Structure 1
Amino acid sequence: MKLLLTGVNHKTAPVELREQLAIAPERLGEATHALLDFPGVHEAMILSTCNRVELLACHESNSPDLLSFLEGYLGVGTASLRPHIYEYRETDAVQHLFRVASSLDSMVVGEPQILGQVKESYTTARSVGAVQTHLEKLLQSTFAVAKKIRTETQIGSSSVSIASVAVDLAKKIFGSLEGKRVLLVGAGKMSELAARHLLQQGADAIYVANRTHDHAVRLAQNFQGRAVRFEDLYATADQADIIITSTGSQEHIFRREHGQQFLHKRRNRPMFFIDIAVPRDIDPEINRVDGVFLYDIDDLQSVAASHLADRAREAQRAEAIIAEEVQRFQRHAQALNATPMIIDLQSSAEEMRQAELRRMQARLQSLTPEQQAAVEALTRGLMNKFLHLPMQAIKAAALEADTVMLEVMRSVFHLTRTQEPANSRITSKTVPAETDEPVIAGNQKDRS
């Protein structure tokens, strides 16, 4: 099975394109299932955040055209996508996924939200049957690597997120947030993080508006703020100096005419909008209103760049860990390729051992149970010792991708060519490749 990862992110595509590709959380399961049904795809996962949309697929010999899937499912033309798309295969795909989950590929290096988003995508893909043997191993390794980097480096030593960068930008705009009123539109994790940072920077009052009013009430209570009913949003918004939006709306919440109305009520006192949603909550045309200043998520990159210098050394340490873990994963994956062949060898040897015991059964009948057990142990031990060196040779050949040696071993021991069925998404249970101890069919230990 082979790996292919196709996507766009904040480095390769502007927000105008990313918002066309963004998949709402409630549609992620449906989209993942559609990807699983796409020709050539055997396992799949989709990661869709404000900064990236990535498709991860397991396939066999023929690589699926994931660009065509994006065009067909989302209706975005291939011509507009192609200049912004990146593709990673095999080891490069593993490395990229490790870097993404560890926040080395984020707009703000070290931000903690991305790992949770990868886990949510994994959970969704698993719930629709899109994650099986191969992606399960890869994603569990991904989570372990991200945890290791958090533990062994200081890359996440300070709380950094898109929300905190948005607040830093507001502070730079005003010089100080003391006495400023802030309206949060959306009561999700981003808004909660923004509220926390705003209060730390001295914001005077926080208003929260959300389509589900109870969510707005809970968030507002957590920060001694005030909840605003969504239907009262436009009547209240002019009271805020800063509006930060982070919703899942597929349409603009604020447009140019709203900005004109707010400025009129404020007697032309300036307003600052920070839109950290994808798709965007605010029509870029609002920037044309004198006194209204809009910053979207791509504008935050210049602010986020200031965090990179402080984290460069820790990022280098993290990159070294990832390089080592990618090699470890590939060695493990290559060793697993030898497992069917090893099981075939063990099975053949066990059949020979049993056949010999049956042939000698008449002579062994006079033995006591203890003596028969001793014969059983002796023949099993001899077989294990005989199998040890061939098994080591098979594992070494698999690790080195030495197909010639593997064919020689198949020929010498008359082994069949064991492959996963073309349409199978679930492999049979196999013996772990890490152990050097021969495991005999019918007497396998559970090592899970």
Structure 2
Amino acid sequence: MALLSLTASHHELDLDALERLSTGAQSIGGSAVSACDVITGAVVLATCNRFELYLDVDAPLDGPGVRHATEHVARLVAEASGVDAVEAATSFRARAGNEVVEHLFAVAAGLDSMVVGEREIAGQVKRALEAAHADGVTSSTLELLFQTASRTSKRVSTETALGGAGRSVVALGLELAGSDLPPWHQVRAVLIGTGSYAGASLAALRALGCDDVRVYSQSGRAEEFAAARGVEPVHDLVTALEDADLVVSCSGARGRALADGSRREQAIEHVLDAASVVRARERAAVAAGDEPGARPTVVLDLALHRDVDPHVADVEGVLLYDLATLAARSPAVASDLVAHARSIVDDAARTFEETRLGRAADTAVVALLQDAERRIRAEVDDVVALRRAEGDGPGEDEVEEIARGVRRRVHADLHRKIVAVRAEAVEASRAAVRGVVADAEALIAEADAEVG
């Protein structure tokens, strides 16, 4: 079994390109496993700023193999999202072996996030594995990989102050919005969406002292979400916006569901468009009569697949913050905190890989153990034979004592040999992975040059 990951994130792509690429992301894991015999497991991690596929491949991963797997999965992504196949193939970065482990552990710990140290990603990593497990497309290797990533993330959270220093995307957005709002206990908020981000947003609003929260959902789940959390559901978004100071949108519902379960982007459809905001503010102005003009409305769009039409920012009296704005204003985290967290991640990744790759030495270790047992029996037999030849034949208890002494000495030497064999196997595996990545990069560069 070999680990392969294909990753696209805000580091390599702008958010518009990432949004296009990840449309239909949830169908990719099942498609990859069913369409390719050598892919025995897949976990898809799709968040507001990344789209990553983790694959368990039952085949040697030489350079051409990595390139073939990348192109094969990229075609599936292209079909699900409507993105050009060439664009999809060039959008991903391929990692193999220990690079996969190091990357996922860093992601789970919040070290690769738009807001470094944010803790939401830990839950997203856990849910990605749960979704793959529920769909029956994971594998024992991927299960262990993701479970260890979650444990490593917890270690970073408990052993460092990184989690306290790094704010979540929700917290950063509310912090930016707060400077343009009344005191939080006076803020009237509308929440669009009922997923995990909506729950996190509601908790953050309440922690700030905002209790006037209404929830809207295109999917019809507002009633259930609101009843469980003690807030008010609304069914007419424009009416709800008339007196709203803050709109937090995180539904990611843009697009139309297709028969195969995928989603195709519809560029003109948004959960909240500029016309709706204009109507709401006009109604608010009429209701105010001779009173001072309506207060500003702050709109916070936390959805990767934008819920809010960018033209909303052009409406007078409206301030729009989206993920691109948050990325630009994300604060730096102290380097010593990052270094501490990185050391934990590196140690966990090294241990995981040494355990996994060390299994390649199992055959050699078994042979060493068998040889050691033969040596022990031979040496004990020699000692017993010598004693008997001298007329001093040992009893059963003495024979056992002799065997224990020989076994201690042989096992001490055996331990050194096992450590050496495992170290050699690990280094050989790492060297092979470095070769795989180098070969794949060379082939992809060659293909790019031919296209150019």
Fold shared by both chains (TM-score > 0.5): yes
CA contact (8 A) 2:357 2:426 kept: no
CA–CA distance in structure 2, aligned partners of residues 126 and 348 of structure 1: 42
- How far is the alpha carbon of 1:95 from its aligned partner? 1.1
1:341-397 deviation line (CA, Å, top 9, x unaligned): 43466679999999xxxxxxxxxxxxxxxx999999999998998687567535522
Quote the residue 2:349 is aligned against.
326
CA contact (8 A) 2:313 2:320 kept: yes
CA–CA distance in structure 1, aligned partners of residues 314 and 272 of structure 2: 13
SS at match of 1:58: strand
SS at match of 2:253: coil
CA–CA distance in structure 1, aligned partners of residues 370 and 210 of structure 2: 71
Asked if 1:32 is matched to 2:39, the reply is no
2:174 to 167, 188, 205: 167
2:55 to 29, 54, 57: 57
CA contact (8 A) 1:338 1:395 kept: no
- How far is the alpha carbon of 1:168 from its aligned partner? 0.7
Quote the residue 2:289 is aligned against.
none
1:80 to 87, 91, 100: 87
- How far is the alpha carbon of 1:15 from its aligned partner? 2.4
Return 372-381 or 277-286, whichever deviates more.
372-381
1:200-228 deviation line (CA, Å, top 9, x unaligned): 4444622222321333323551xxx4322
Q: Compared with structure 1, are the counterparts of its residues 219 and 402 closer, same or farther at alpha carbon in structure 2 (3 Å cutoff)?
A: closer
Q: Compared with structure 1, are the counterparts of its residues 234 and 340 closer, same or farther at alpha carbon in structure 2 (3 Å cutoff)?
A: farther
CA–CA distance in structure 1, aligned partners of residues 371 and 78 of structure 2: 50
What amino acid sits opposite 1:131 in the alignment? T
- How far is the alpha carbon of 1:44 from its aligned partner? 2.0
Asked if 1:279 is matched to 2:305, the reply is yes
Q: Compared with structure 1, are the counterparts of its residues 318 and 159 closer, same or farther at alpha carbon in structure 2 (3 Å cutoff)?
A: closer
CA–CA distance in structure 2, aligned partners of residues 38 and 302 of structure 1: 39
What amino acid sits opposite 1:281 in the alignment? D
Asked if 1:69 is matched to 2:64, the reply is no
Structure 2 alignment gaps of length 5 or more: 256-269, 286-292, 378-394, 429-452
1:189 to 175, 178, 196: 196
What amino acid sits opposite 2:279 in the alignment? Q
1:26-80 deviation line (CA, Å, top 9, x unaligned): x73x432212234342332110111111011133322212433322343322443
SS at match of 2:357: helix
CA contact (8 A) 1:2 1:58 kept: yes
CA–CA distance in structure 1, aligned partners of residues 6 and 413 of structure 2: 41
Percent of aligned pairs with the same residue? Answer: 25
CA contact (8 A) 2:368 2:418 kept: no
Q: Compared with structure 1, are the counterparts of its residues 35 and 265 closer, same or farther at alpha carbon in structure 2 (3 Å cutoff)?
A: same
CA contact (8 A) 1:6 1:67 kept: no
SS at match of 2:324: coil
SS at match of 1:147: helix
SS at match of 2:330: helix
Asked if 1:227 is matched to 2:233, the reply is yes
CA contact (8 A) 1:192 1:219 kept: no
CA–CA distance in structure 1, aligned partners of residues 373 and 197 of structure 2: 59
Quote the residue 1:264 is aligned against.
282
CA–CA distance in structure 1, aligned partners of residues 405 and 3 of structure 2: 40
CA–CA distance in structure 1, aligned partners of residues 201 and 426 of structure 2: 54
- How far is the alpha carbon of 1:88 from its aligned partner? 2.3
CA RMSD in angstroms, aligned pairs only: 3.4
Quote the residue 1:445 is aligned against.
none
CA contact (8 A) 1:35 1:41 kept: yes
Higher-RCO chain (CA-CA 8 Å, sequence separation at least 6): 2
Quote the residue 2:314 is aligned against.
288
SS at match of 1:235: helix
Q: Compared with structure 1, are the counterparts of its residues 334 and 376 closer, same or farther at alpha carbon in structure 2 (3 Å cutoff)?
A: farther
- How far is the alpha carbon of 1:237 from its aligned partner? 1.9
Matches within 5 A, 1:173-212: 173-174=180-181, 176-203=183-210, 205-210=212-217, 211-212=220-221
Quote the residue 1:433 is aligned against.
none
Q: How many residues in Structure 1 have an aligned counterpart in Structure 2? A: 377
CA–CA distance in structure 1, aligned partners of residues 192 and 111 of structure 2: 29
Task: Looking at secondary structure, tell me which structure has more helix per residue.
Answer: 2
Quote the residue 2:444 is aligned against.
none
Asked if 1:245 is matched to 2:246, the reply is no
Q: Compared with structure 1, are the counterparts of its residues 159 and 188 closer, same or farther at alpha carbon in structure 2 (3 Å cutoff)?
A: farther
1:271-314 deviation line (CA, Å, top 9, x unaligned): 22111112111122322333333221221123322xx34x4322
CA contact (8 A) 1:180 1:241 kept: yes
CA contact (8 A) 2:98 2:349 kept: yes
CA contact (8 A) 2:114 2:327 kept: yes
Q: Compared with structure 1, are the counterparts of its residues 126 and 337 closer, same or farther at alpha carbon in structure 2 (3 Å cutoff)?
A: farther
- How far is the alpha carbon of 1:99 from its aligned partner? 0.5
Asked if 1:43 is matched to 2:41, the reply is yes
CA contact (8 A) 1:335 1:395 kept: no
Quote the residue 2:19 is aligned against.
19
Quote the residue 1:413 is aligned against.
none
Asked if 1:125 is matched to 2:132, the reply is yes
